[in-house]
């Protein structure tokens, strides 16, 4: 027995010595420090996204995002600027634009695939106005990219949901602003509830219901009613704080803040740190983070130009086909002056992959002049 213990002790000491030796070699090669940083980053990011990872493809997207910083994680692709609604707070629509031709969109998807995009979310305007939307989704899937869609839901029918299933859509987000339509927004639960029931019955993709606070909709309590209905139907829900035309926060009232916290608690899953981002904002506090727009996140407008995001259109304003990995590297390392009070949560979520590494060293990109509505710009031309 004693001999056995002695043997085990010797073996343990040998393993420790060997382990230290391995660590010393790794240290000398600079790997040990890198591995530690990587493991720290991976556990940090998995802690944030853990609850949200529901498929192998999503897990692969996170791992790929952690392993390299030189590819796009998420791109928003505008397929038409036209919208069938005219929400009072929106600067992202017009009433006259034609849909972007499908072959042009296919080429843009191909270019995003070349830049390593993991997710493409189709947006607008109202993307369901695009007559060949399903072909765009199919092409995204053909290129091995996760396909998402943001819609106001008005044009959803049973047939359209089945077509979206067949095209391979993977997630869909509907924004609902109020219970009854009012002057500010017609995106109301009253109008959309039947569509939600159809989605529950037919959709093979994930559905998230997003509601906003601070947009001037009459009853902030509506956000809670909408979130409760989303949970009742088995969907995830999220709440955002509305940004002004510079992508920054509009102050919330005390009651709006309480509702914000209540809706956050209802969510089926949450990006806890991103929620902390939003919680800071509703309390009027700035956030410290590294916005990687222009690199890990791209906003591709209807004209095919790359912008930081919907609220910082104009930077860098380069055609997607000319956008290179060098451009991405520059923007990855450029600090954005609008970051502390930014409310754009999808860019904040993407930034979590890299917040623990690569400080931004290329100076601060100043705020651009406020974006006027695309409709007004086109009318003026
Ligand atoms: S918020 Fe959405 S639905 Fe409302 S006008 Fe803008 S693009 Fe259209
Ligand atoms: S911080 Fe980034 S995402 Fe937010 S408004 Fe500025 S550029 Fe856009």
DSSP per-residue letters across 28-77: HTTHHHHHHHHHHHHHHHHHHHGGG--SHHHHHHHHHHHH-SSS-SEEEE
Identify whether 61 is part of a domain: no
* Closest ligand to residue 312's CA: 2
In a domain, residue 65? The reply is no
Closest ligand 1 atom to 84 CA: 8
The DSSP 8-state label assigned to residue 249 in this structure reads B
Contact indicator for 346, 311 with CB cutoff of 8 Å: no
In this structure, is residue 16 part of a structural domain? Answer: yes
**Any atom of ligand 1 within 6 Å of the Cβ of 85:** yes
Which pLDDT tens digits describe the chain residue by residue (381 residues)?
A: 444 444 444 444 444 444 455 555 555 556 666 666 666 566 555 555 544 555 778 888 888 988 899 999 999 999 999 999 998 888 889 999 999 999 999 999 999 999 999 999 999 999 999 999 999 999 999 999 999 999 999 999 999 999 999 999 999 999 999 999 988 889 999 999 999 999 999 999 999 999 888 756 678 889 999 999 999 999 988 887 766 555 456 667 788 888 888 887 776 544 444 567 777 877 778 889 999 999 999 999 999 999 999 888 888 999 999 999 999 999 999 999 989 888 888 999 899 899 888 899 886 766 555 454 444 444 444
Q: Do residues 124 and 30 both lie within one domain?
A: no
Regarding whether 247 and 337 lie in a shared domain, the answer is yes
Q: Are 322 and 222 in a shared domain?
A: yes
Q: What is the DSSP letter of 145?
A: -
274 and 167 belong to one structural domain: yes
Residues 19 and 135 in one domain: no
Distance separating alpha carbons of residues 142 and 139, to the nearest angstrom: 5
Residue 364 lies in a domain: yes
Closest CA to 52 of 208, 226, 262, 210: 208
Which residues have a Cβ under 8 Å from the Cβ of 259 and sit 6 or more positions away?
213, 220, 221, 223, 224
Order of strands, sheet of 316-319, starting from the edge strand that comes earlier in the sequence: 236-241, 206-213, 171-175, 146-151, 119-123, 74-78, 297-300, 305-307, 316-319
Classify residue 186: in a domain, yes or no: yes
Q: Are residues 136 and 19 in the same domain?
A: no
End-to-end CA distance of the chain: 92
Q: What is the largest CA-CA distance in the chain?
A: 92
My answer on whether 43 and 182 are in the same domain is no
Ligand 2 center to residue 317 CA distance, Å? 14
Report if residue 42 sits inside a domain: yes
In a domain, 6, yes or no: yes
Residues in the chain: 381
DSSP string of 315-366, one letter each residue: SEEEEGGG--HHHHHHHHT-EETTGGGB--HHHHHHHTTTTTS----S-EEP
Q: What's the CATH code of the domain at 156?
A: 3.20.20.70
SS3 call for 188: strand
Q: Measured in angstroms, how far is the CA atom of residue 238 from the centroid of ligand 2?
A: 19
Q: Within a domain: residue 125?
A: yes
Model confidence, pTM: 0.83
191 and 43 inside one domain = no
Sequence-distant (≥ 6) Cβ neighbours of residue 118 within 8 angstroms: 61, 64, 65, 71, 72, 73, 74, 145, 146
Q: 44 and 83, same structural domain? A: no
**50 CA → ligand 2 middle, Å:** 25
Tell whether 169 and 74 lie within a shared domain.
yes
Give the count of domains, the chain: 2
The CB of 184 under 6 Å from ligand 1? The reply is no
* 4 φ/ψ angles, rounded to the nearest 5 degrees: -65, -45
Instruction: Please tell me whether residues 26 and 122 are part of one structural domain.
Output: no
- 245 Cα–ligand 2 center, Å: 12
Range of the domain at 21: 2-54
Q: Apex CA 78: angle with CA 76 and CA 82, to 5°?
A: 145
Out of 54, 81, 98, a domain closes at 54
Residues 140 and 113 in one domain: yes
């Amino acid at each position: 027995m004693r001999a056995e213990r002695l043997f085990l002790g010797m073996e343990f000491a040998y393993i420790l010595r060997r382990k230290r030796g391995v660590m010393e070699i790794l240290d000398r090669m600079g790997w040990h420090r890198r591995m530690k940083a990587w493991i720290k980053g991976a556990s940090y990011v998995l802690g944030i996204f853990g609850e949200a990872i529901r498929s192998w493809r999503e897990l692969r997207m996170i791992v790929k995002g952690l392993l390299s910083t030189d590819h796009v994680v998420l791109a928003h692709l505008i397929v038409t600027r036209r919208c069938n609604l005219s929400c009072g707070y929106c600067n992202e629509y017009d009433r006259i634009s034609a849909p972007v031709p499908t072959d042009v969109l296919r080429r843009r998807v191909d270019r995003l695939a070349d830049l390593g995009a993991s997710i493409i979310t189709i947006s607008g305007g109202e993307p369901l106005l695009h007559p060949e939307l399903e072909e765009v989704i199919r092409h995204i899937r053909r290129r091995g990219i996760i396909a998402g869609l943001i819609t106001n839901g008005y044009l959803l029918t049973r047939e359209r949901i089945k077509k979206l299933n067949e095209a391979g859509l993977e997630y869909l987000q509907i924004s609902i602003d109020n219970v009854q339509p009012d002057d500010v927004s017609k995106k109301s639960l009253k109008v959309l509830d039947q569509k939600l029931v159809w989605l529950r019955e037919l959709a093979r993709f994930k559905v998230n219901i997003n509601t906003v606070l601070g947009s001037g909709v009459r009853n902030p309590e509506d956000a809670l009613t909408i979130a409760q209905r989303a949970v009742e139907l088995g969907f995830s829900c999220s709440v955002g704080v509305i940004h002004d035309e510079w992508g920054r926060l509009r102050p919330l009232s005390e009651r709006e803040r309480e509702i914000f916290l209540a809706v956050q608690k209802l969510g089926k899953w949450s990006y806890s740190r991103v929620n902390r981002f939003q919680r800071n904002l509703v309390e009027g506090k700035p956030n410290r983070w590294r916005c990687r727009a222009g690199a890990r996140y791209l906003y591709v407008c209807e004209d095919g130009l790359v912008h930081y995001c919907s609220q910082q259109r104009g930077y860098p304003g380069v055609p997607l086909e000319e956008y290179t990995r060098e451009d991405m590297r520059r923007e990855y390392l450029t600090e954005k002056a609008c970051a502390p009070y930014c409310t754009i949560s999808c860019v904040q979520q993407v930034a979590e992959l890299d917040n623990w590494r690569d400080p931004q060293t290329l100076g601060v990109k100043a705020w651009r002049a406020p974006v006027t509505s695309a409709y007004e710009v086109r009318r003026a031309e």
